[in-house]
Amino acid sequence: MPLDLKRIKAICFDIDGTLADSDDVMVEQMEAVLSVPLFIFPRQRRMQFARKLIMASETPGNQLLKLLDAIGCDDWFFRLRNSLLPAYKRKIPHWKPIGGVQETLPKLAKVYSIALISARDDHHTQTFIEQLAFSAIIRCWASAETTRHTKPYPDPIQWVAKQLGVSPSQCLMVGDTPVDIQAGKNAGAQTVGVLSGFGEECELRAAGADAVIRDINELDSLLRVVPPH
């Protein structure tokens, strides 16, 4: 089913692999680790395996947070982590944006309310916004610490929609993995998958993506955003 453009009032973006080129960095780091035990395989094969390995870890990570939430220990987990790793000691990532993001996002912000929905914690989400000078563009954001459940649950999208004064069905969730698409569908939002991260087109469509594009630079044409004169 094609996107209902008239329904969209807000766009919710995932960060890793959607706005930031962090997925490829993680794949390269994993490939470097695998290069010793898998030295007999060509680098391209190791890169493919590394990508699949990292993507496979996404669901267990979400399942761990789900389990902690179910037994009432999710808040305790984040407090413990923060006490052991104070913000000033935590490694601050150097965020590398997907090419064109810093031009495309302001253009979209002239038409839609922009929000972030990330499985990262508060600290990393804030540093992304600050480093790329998106404070004036991002209306609100939800991290893994914002709601009781994170993606693929609908909670983050529902929370963001409430902050923006729109219904979840008026939101468009944009992400690079099936988990992003599932979160959008579970919230009743429309969804767009991007191929700039881990997700393959067949996986994103199988998860229910209403559209799949190369990266978010194609989003303005998909949404028929008229550039300002």
- What pLDDT does 72 receive? 57
> Which residue in 52, 35, 54, 53 sits closest to 43, CA to CA?
35
Strands, E assignment, 9-150: 10-13, 113-117, 138-142
Query: Given this model, what pLDDT does residue 49 score?
Result: 61
Q: Closest by alpha carbon to 172, among 129, 225, 132, 96?
A: 225
pLDDT beneath 50, residues of the chain: 60, 87-89, 228-229
Residue 126 has phi, psi (to 5 degrees) of -65, -40
pLDDT for position 95: 87
The residue extents of the domains of the chain are 5-22+96-222, 25-84
Residue 42: its pLDDT value, please?
A: 76
Stated as kind and residue range, the H or E segment containing 194 is: strand 190-194
- The class of domain 5-22+96-222 in CATH terms is alpha beta
pLDDT of residue 189: 98
- Element at 191 (helix H, strand E): strand 190-194
